[in-house]
Amino acid sequence: MAVQTFQEFAADFVPDLEMSSPHRFDLIFDDKGLYVDVTLTNDDKTVLSDIYVLDVSAFMGGVRRSLVHAVMGINEVAAQNSNFMVTIDSRNYLVLSGYCQLDGLSSESFDRELTFWLDQADRMRSLAQTISFQSEDIGYELDTVAGGM
């Protein structure tokens, strides 16, 4: 019953969608450079949306510690106020996982949630790039020291 409900929801959300499996479909947002894996979990009640934000395999040492510290802080706040969490998966991808209940899920409500999660994923990417000094917004200038050095 839950699988059928999930498939009906998926068909309503994206007409002509080819599902990856009876429990899963994928979305690609080329304009944002984001891939989303939408899955009906094993409890047959929860829809989990994993958004693959950024490959952080090159983040080492202090940069990685800073990212992990930021992710932990975000998760602490999100656990109290939101329906998502952020992790670094076994392949070293920064992943934002949003979740909602299948019962009563509509295309409109899922679209609102997904839009929020995609916005948070963009913000996470910007944060990670800033932490790793990959951001275009970071610049520096060297001042000349009188007397030279």
Buried b (16+ CB within 10 A) or exposed e, 128-144: beebbeeeeeeeeeeee
- How sure is the predictor about 148, in pLDDT bands with cuts at 50, 70 and 90? low
CA distances from 10 to 28, 48, 95, 113, 131 (A): 14, 13, 22, 15, 36
- The pLDDT tens digits for 93-120 are 999 999 999 999 999 999 999 999 999 9
Positive or negative torsion for Cα 15, 21, 23, 27: negative
Tell me if 9 sits within 8 A of 102, measured CB to CB: yes
Query: Which pLDDT belongs to residue 132?
Result: 87
Query: Which pLDDT belongs to residue 81?
Result: 86
* Mean pLDDT of all residues belonging to the chain: 91
- How sure is the predictor about 29, in pLDDT bands with cuts at 50, 70 and 90? very high
Global pTM value = 0.87
